[in-house]
A = this chain, B = another copy of it.
């Protein structure tokens, strides 16, 4: 019974347990614009691993669902309150426990912000490479729970490549330690990798041992190029990959998005940058190279862009490079200012980027939607933004139909419906379609093994709860209850 849960929590954790309406309300949403239908029973602000274990023991004994939440910056509804749940807030687990210069690793609690770790290790000449665009506000635990990507993945890998070991509180409160402090290690199945990207459904990541790297050395070269249209820019991006050059960053901004960004930021913001010289309909590629090979790689990229019909400029001036990257980061805010936005996250093999852009244009035309698209082009990871007019409380059916068409296209091209944001509740409808029934059932079997009573983030990733033997719900509704404009998207 809820009252029993709350009294037991209060007895064990005192003021860590909150039922203040504003707090219960805040955890109904993340940064995706999705807003769940339910308030939780309580929000528990854990400040130690012991407290997380205490919460899980009580949840286990009372069969109370638990949604673990870090910084609340998710983009797929993976950490929002569900019916009758506790929201377990880990933002108080924010200590950097160790930085080992000799072993190039750090041990952090799950609530440490990505950017805070980066700031802590930079004076030592070290770097935490996983770099989601949200790094200033997102937690490392959340990054690991979603296997977060970012702008630098083709060269520096996704989050999984930087996770050496984890401490995980299991559904019944036991503490599990996976992995090692070593670069290599093959003792048993790789549960560290299995936990990475598991979206709070297998256990609660409370501590991580992460790999650090030497800070990139030398000059960063920024290359900017304008192309006649989106598909030409996509083709130029694919040509860079095919040329054997691996830039640190390769971002594509399409024409529809640039027009909105320009209108939102105003001409002063773009003045003096290559973006100010774009003609209507032109798309834009932004590349950066780093480390010892930066100049030679930049030379090659300039050549590839020019051969692909680009109008190219390059610079080694750090300030002008950072200004362009900042405009790229302002993209989602600019879109959200002009309408409701559903941000998507498909990935395709890099050679298929031109086809995917063509498909997005066709889908937009068919569904009478503008779909401005930003791509981590070096990774083949696209963020099409479904922009629509109307009430923030309702996403029209034709938006979901367009998203459905887009997911199917990405998978048909050898890609996936989510490159870095995760499945959450927003994409669970499509999970079985991509995985196939056999893999879907195995994945549900893994879920049942780690969480036999189904209390860990129910409804996330899998629409159904319980054992795989149960048939899948055929009519999972596609529409979010109350999508809202995100204040800050990435």
A184 near B379 (CB under 8 angstroms)?
A: yes
Shortest A31–chain B CB gap in Å is: 16
Instruction: Give per-residue flags for A407-418: 1 if the beta carbon is below 8 A from chain B beta carbons, else 0.
Output: 000000011111
- Chain B residues within 8 Å of A186, by CB: 146-147, 149, 197, 416, 418-423
Identical chains in the assembly: 2
A48-56, A97-105, A271-279, A385-393 - the one binding chain B: A97-105
Instruction: Tell me the residues in window 78-131 of chain A with beta carbons closer than 8 Å to chain B beta carbons.
Output: 100-105, 125-126
User: A367 on the interface (CB 8 Å rule)?
Assistant: no
Q: Is the pair A149, B414 in contact by a Cβ cutoff of 8 Å? A: no
A103-B350, A183-B380 known; 20 new pairs, CB 8 Å cut-off, are: A147-B186, A147-B190, A153-B183, A158-B184, A176-B436, A177-B439, A180-B347, A182-B380, A182-B381, A182-B415, A183-B381, A185-B347, A185-B419, A187-B427, A188-B431, A188-B435, A190-B197, A191-B442, A292-B296, A449-B449
User: A170 at the A/B interface (Cβ < 8 Å)?
Assistant: yes
Q: A176 touching B442 by the CB < 8 A rule?
A: yes
A238–B217 Cα gap in the complex (Å)?
21
User: Chain B residues near A170 (CB, 8 Å)?
Assistant: 438
The answer to whether B189 touches A414 (Cβ under 8 A) is no
Binds B, one of A240-248, A317-325, A474-482: A240-248
- Asked if B100 and A351 sit within 8 Å, CB to CB, the answer is yes
Q: Report the separation of the CA atoms of residues A160 and B202 in the bound assembly, to the nearest whole angstrom.
A: 21
Q: Does A485 contact B (CB under 8 A)?
A: no
Report how far A174 CA is from B170 CA in the complex, Å: 31
* A214 contacts the other chain (CB 8 A): yes
CB nearest to A419 among chain B residues: B184
A14 within 8 Å of B (CB atoms): no
The reply on A316 being an interface residue by CB < 8 A is no
A380 touches which one: B184, B417, B449 (CB < 8 A)? B184
A160 touches B193 (CB 8 A): yes
**A161 CB-CB contact with B under 8 Å:** yes
Q: Does A154 contact B (CB under 8 A)?
A: yes
Q: Tell me the complex Cα distance, A174–B215, Å.
A: 46
The residues of B that contact A101 with a CB separation of less than 8 Å are: 242
Which of chain B's residues have a CB closer than 8 A to the CB of A222?
none
Expressed in whole angstroms, the Cα–Cα distance for A312 and B282 within the complex equals 56
30 A-B contacts (beta carbon < 8 Å): A101-B242, A102-B349, A102-B351, A103-B350, A147-B186, A153-B184, A154-B183, A158-B184, A170-B438, A176-B439, A180-B414, A181-B349, A181-B415, A182-B349, A182-B415, A184-B347, A184-B416, A186-B416, A186-B418, A187-B435, A188-B435, A188-B439, A189-B202, A191-B442, A193-B193, A193-B196, A194-B194, A213-B246, A291-B293, A445-B449
A18 at the A/B interface (Cβ < 8 Å)? Answer: no
- For A468, the closest partner residue in chain B by CB is B449
- Per-position 1/0 for A139-152, Cβ under 8 A of B: 00000001101000
> Which A427-467 residues sit within 8 Å CB-CB of chain B?
427, 431, 434-436, 438-440, 442-443, 445-446, 449-450, 461
Q: Give chain B residues whose Cβ lies under 8 Å from the Cβ of A146.
A: 186
With A238-B102, A242-B102, A420-B184 as contacts: A446 and B189 at CB distance below 8 Å:
yes
Q: How far is the CB of A235 from chain B (nearest CB, A)?
A: 11
Contact of A416 among B157, B180, B292, B416 (CB under 8 A): B180
Cβ-closest chain B residue relative to A430? B187
Q: Are A194 and B184 in contact (CB under 8 A)?
A: no
| Nearest opposing residue in chain B for A439, CB measure | B176
Name the CB-closest residue of B to A105: B349
Known: A189-B446, A445-B449. A182 touches B214 (CB 8 A): no
Residue of chain B at shortest CB distance from A413 = B181
Q: Which of A104, A184, A202, A215 has the most CB of B within 10 A?
A: A184
Chain B neighbourhood of A443, CB < 8 A: 188-189, 191
- Cβ of A348 within 8 Å of any chain B Cβ, yes or no, is yes
Asked whether A246 lies within 8 Å of B439 as measured between CB atoms, the reply is no
Chain B's nearest CB lies how many Å from the CB of A445?
Answer: 5
The interface residues of chain B lying within 8 Å CB-to-CB of A421 are 186
User: How long is the Cα–Cα vector from A454 to B296 in the complex, in angstroms?
Assistant: 55
Q: Does A138 contact B (CB under 8 A)?
A: no
